[in-house]
Structure 1
Amino acid sequence: MVKPLKKAVLPVAGLGTRFLPATKALAKEMLPVVDRPLIQYAVDEARAAGIEQFCFVTGRGKTAIVEHFDVAYELEKTLIERGKNKELAELHAQALPPGAIITTRQQVPMGLGHAIWCARSFIGDDPFAILLPDDLMQCEVSCTKQLADAYAETGGNVVAIEEVPMERVNKYGVLDIEKDMGRLVSVKGLVEKPPIDQAPSNLTIIGRYVLMPEVIGHLSKMEKGAGGEVQLTDSMAKLIGTQPFHGVRYEGKRFDCGDKMGFLEAQIAFALKRPELAEGMRGILGKYS
């Protein structure tokens, strides 16, 4: 019987320099895709997997992220007075219960592994999910739910994976596969951003993880890896052989919203999924084709 997965860590301390000047005074996680910020999509995805507690690893200038999930009494009062019941219902649907969110600061940008280590008190002895809001997922079944189901089946650590062209493997954490079972692969090794000619495969980790708390012990050593940062992949690799470790070929599509082209594509794809917007969006696209 595996321990229930109820916690998620969302690293949101990045500066978003690729989207300057838009992110000079706005957290990149608050950039909207259609009418919802990236952080909302990530939280909703996690909630669909049964996640109940969230830790935002923040930095300076990120207060709007927490405020987004707070109760806006003045706004709600105005919506009630104006009969904006649909908009009010949408606000209520996104609200999280009291105590569901905590924040911790990553004062120095030392890498993803360091960000996760900053959430160690929140994680405690529990399994936890990690969601990187820059990776916006469009899935019929929540990507985190797909990982949670795999975790319930296999126990141990689970990561979402996808194939990329070999010439791009040096941008990702790459799997060394022990056994390929189709949807699931068992993992015998991980390499962070390997040289193209040394990559063990073209199966790469995207920004969705379910990890066991033992990873914190390895992160605590603060060993620096690729780019001189504390890499999460390096500490995950040390769990292999002591705990089950699997990759999941998730069903759905990922949009890299840390990249301008990926962000623009996401706007189109998510608008086309909305019945009230799809026809208008196709008309707009037709003007520029």
Structure 2
Amino acid sequence: MMERDLVTVQHRELHVRVWNRGAANTVVCWHGLARSGADFEPLGEALAQRGYQVLAPDTVGRGLSQWAEDPAHEYQLPVYEDQALALLDHYQVDRLQWVGTSMGGLLGIVLASNALVGRLDRLVLNDIGPELPAAALRRIVDYVRNPESHASLSAFEQRIRVLYAPFGPRDDQSWHQMAVQGSRRLPDGRFAPHYDPEIIGAFDESAPPLDLWSAFSTIKIPMLVVQGGQSDVLTDAIVERMQSQVEALRVVRFEDCGHAPGLHLQAHVNPLLTFLDH
């Protein structure tokens, strides 16, 4: 059964979903830019049934975690890196595997190439590579920076259905759940996305283009790349370059998804379970 913790790291309270607390083997699941740990509930349940401890935090400024007081400084990958390491210390995790969607995958690359060398056993990158195509980044930044509010939860859900259609097919109940988990109520009673609109941080157009190729090339652990067949973020050209740098890289492609596969369908979860179990 999933539990919920509130953990204070670096003076910020983070909300963390936890399965199988204290189990010997740990998988950390880190979400994308404007998402939350809720995205990993199906995967967390599946991993818990296999005996893993699973930790799925809401990054600062998202979900039920505290918002930043200094957004320009705090919504940056180096800060997330420090907070991730502090969470591992809190849960007394020495060795682990990492599943990162989009921004969570970028964080995984940074950690796997530096602070977690010798501690990280396997890395899953969900629809992300060491660089971000400019057009895809502009698309993401536009909707994150300018979140729409809606008079009713059902209207908010209709917007979610359009915005996150690339995650892959869902039934009505799954869409309802995503709307509830991904919304917050404003003082005027309208519904808006759960996140702080200032989370753009390192992905702002004024920031230098992201380039993690050097870091990626140093990673020696087994890696699985999950690619949405219609993704504009993880293009075929980026995947080919990744494969040229890491010979043992495994790639699984889901044709019914764009950016990024939601990891909520059993057919999408199964390859991750196989990879993490070996």
Q: Normalised by the size of structure 2, how large is the TM-score?
A: 0.29
| Bigger proportion of residues as strand | 1
Q: Which structure has the bigger radius of gyration?
A: 1
Q: Normalised by the size of structure 1, how large is the TM-score?
A: 0.28
